[in-house]
Amino acid sequence: MSNIPACPQCTLENTYPDGDNYVCADCGFEWPIAKAAEDDDATAIIKDANGNVLADGDAVVLIKDLKVKGSSTVLKMGTKVKSIRLVGGDHGVDCKTDSGNFLLKAEFLKKV
C-alpha cells in the first residue's frame, strides 16, 4: 500500500510527489506535502480490538496483561482506563492509570 494520499479534490488515488507538492494525474490538483502529513495525523482513525472507533475521553479496558518495558510493572487484563487521549505514532493511545502514564496500542484495548 502506498503512503501517497488520495487527491483531496477528486478523491482518486492516482497521485504522485513532485518537488514539495503532491499532484493528481487525473484532475491536475496540487497540494503541499507538508500539509498532507499534518492532515494524516489529525484524521487518523484509531480502532480498538473489536473494531470500534475510539475518541478522546473514551473509557477502555485492557484485554491482555501488558508488561511495561524497563520496569517490573505489569498492567493487568481487565484494568479500566478512563479518559484516554488519542495521539499519533505507533502507540495511538495516551492514558493515565494507577501505575502511571502510558502510551498503549489500541489493539490491546476494548471500548467500554
pLDDT value, residue 39: 56
pLDDT value, residue 6: 85
Q: What homologous superfamily does CATH list for 60-111?
A: SH3 Domains (2.30.30.40)
Sign of CA dihedral 35, 37, 38, 44: positive
pLDDT value, residue 1: 46
Q: Is the pTM of this model over 0.85?
A: no
The whole-angstrom separation of Cα 106 and Cα 58 is 12
Cα distances (angstroms) measured from residue 75 to each of 36, 41, 51, 88, 94 = 36, 27, 22, 22, 14
Q: For residue 109, which of 45, 66, 56 has the smallest C-alpha distance?
A: 66
The domain segmentation of the chain, as residue ranges, is: 1-43, 60-111
Which amino acid does the sequence have at 99? S
pLDDT value, residue 58: 94
Q: Strand 100-104 vs strand 109-111: parallel, antiparallel, or unpaired? A: unpaired
Class of domain 1-43: mainly beta
The residue ranges of the chain whose pLDDT is under 70 are 1-2, 35-43
pLDDT value, residue 19: 86
- Give the up-direction half-sphere exposure of residue 97: CA atoms within 13 A in the CB hemisphere: 20
